[in-house]
Amino acid sequence: MTSLAPLRPSLTASPRPRRCVTGQRAPATRRWACWSPPPALEAFHILHSDVYSAYAHVRLAANAADKAVRSTFGVLASHWSYLLDQPDLTALAWEELVLHSQSRRSPLLGVATDDPLQYDALVLTDLGLGRRAIADITGQYVGTIRYLIAPHTLHTDNLLPARNR
């Protein structure tokens, strides 16, 4: 997925100070500085931000990880009405986090896989998430996640005999 765009919400003046997304009040002289997200976006943020942050902190320094998560939610906020119409909103949001955290550019040592989603599932498993939680966060089916994190060993009893050519 390509990056959607940086956040640039249209902000309007308010007669009274509004709470920012961070929970702080806007300064009295700059009431326009805060933006109230739609309730669905706020709920999405509450449900996903901790895991997004933990995933980003695996690969990045604290400041860079926080910036990656903020950038991800900024892009989601700027395209929220479009994303609400998509059947795979959580999958698109996850891909946006992966893009901002650049986690797949240099995978962790010890996590050997060529499948990007399998890499993500294994990292999330190492963070202590179960299959259902990983599926919910990444926007995938539980069966897909179960398959990706299962050990794949081939037993010689299950192999077909080689054909002579």
Q: Give the tens place of pLDDT for each residue, 54-106.
A: 999 998 999 999 999 999 999 999 999 999 999 999 999 999 999 999 988 87
List, for residues 137-153, the tens digit of each pLDDT value: 999 999 999 999 988 66
C-alpha span between 10 and 133 (Å, rounded): 34
92-96 long-range Cβ contacts below 8 angstroms, 24+ apart: 92/1, 92/139, 93/44, 93/48, 93/139, 94/120, 94/137, 94/138, 94/139, 95/1, 96/1, 96/3, 96/4, 96/72
Domain layout of the chain by residue ranges: 38-151
Nearest by Cα to 105 from 149, 60, 71:
60
The pTM score is: 0.72
